[in-house]
Amino acid sequence: MNAPTPLTALRAADVAAWIRRTSQLISAHADELTALDAAIGDADHGANMKRGLAAAVEALPEQPETPAAVLKQTAMALISKVGGAAGPLYGTFFLRMSTACAGQQSLDVAALAEAVAAGIGGIVQRGNAESGDKTMIDAWNPALSALRTGAAAPAPAETGSALAAAVEQAAAAADAGRAATAPMLAKKGRASYLGERSVGHVDPGAASTALIMQALADVVSGTAADAA
């Protein structure tokens, strides 16, 4: 069997595949996400995200025209279907991504990094959180840093895909950021009401962020179909 060929840029169909793979991973980990949220939140993050991503997949056009169109459609589905804080936050993230890449037919690693940066800016503006507050930002910021580093690096000789290398590193960075939230004291969101009792628990938003980035890595590496 031939090794999968990694993507060098994300076209509209690839972004749609990202949303579908995200829905698969969120669904597979929904109980885990809900358990994390039960410890420091409302115990509904997994169920809400599963419902929202299923709606986003249902809303995907058969032949998406641009990455921005897919991202905007995803944003609208998440805002309308995901309850709690996650819906507005993730909806804003994808909507800002959509605005940042408007008019582009494909996204290389530099364009992806700037779109993600715009999305994170939306989360920060809406949630007023920063690194160290024990939120999804603690997974998103390391992922963005890895994407920007990858955008500045030459494409690896073995694959020729700077995008694949950067997204793989970004997924790993997001997962490390997720794990790093466990010892943090929550300073934002429902978990902040618990004070010291929030320490020792992984933030559910950081956990779902890590899954979103892993889904992107699966699509870009060409392994999403095998993992489905």
Tell me how many domains the chain contains. Answer: 1
157 compared with 40, residue with greater pLDDT: 40
5 assigned to some structural domain: no
The one-letter amino acid code at 212 reads I
Rounded-to-integer distance, Cα 199 and Cα 204, Å = 13
- Residue 76: Cβ within 10 Å count: 17
| pLDDT number for residue 192 | 80
226 has a pLDDT exceeding 60: no
| pLDDT number for residue 203 | 96
226 assigned to some structural domain: no
- The string of pLDDT tens digits covering residues 196-216 is 888 999 999 999 999 999 999
| pLDDT number for residue 81 | 86
Whole-prediction pTM: 0.95
Q: Within 13 A of 91's CA, how many CA atoms are on the CB side?
A: 19
| pLDDT number for residue 156 | 87
224 assigned to some structural domain: no
At 1, is the pLDDT very low, low, confident or very high (cuts 50, 70, 90)?
low
228 assigned to some structural domain: no
- The string of pLDDT tens digits covering residues 54-91 is 999 999 988 889 999 999 999 999 999 887 788 999 99
| pLDDT number for residue 190 | 78
1 assigned to some structural domain: no
Calculate the average pLDDT of the chain.
Answer: 93
Contact partners, residue 136, CB within 8 Å, separation at least 6: 89, 123, 129, 203, 205, 206, 208, 209
160 has a pLDDT exceeding 80: no
Contact partners, residue 197, CB within 8 Å, separation at least 6: 40
Residue 41 sits in a domain whose CATH number is: 1.25.40.340
Domain that holds residue 106: 10-219
The one-letter amino acid code at 28 reads A
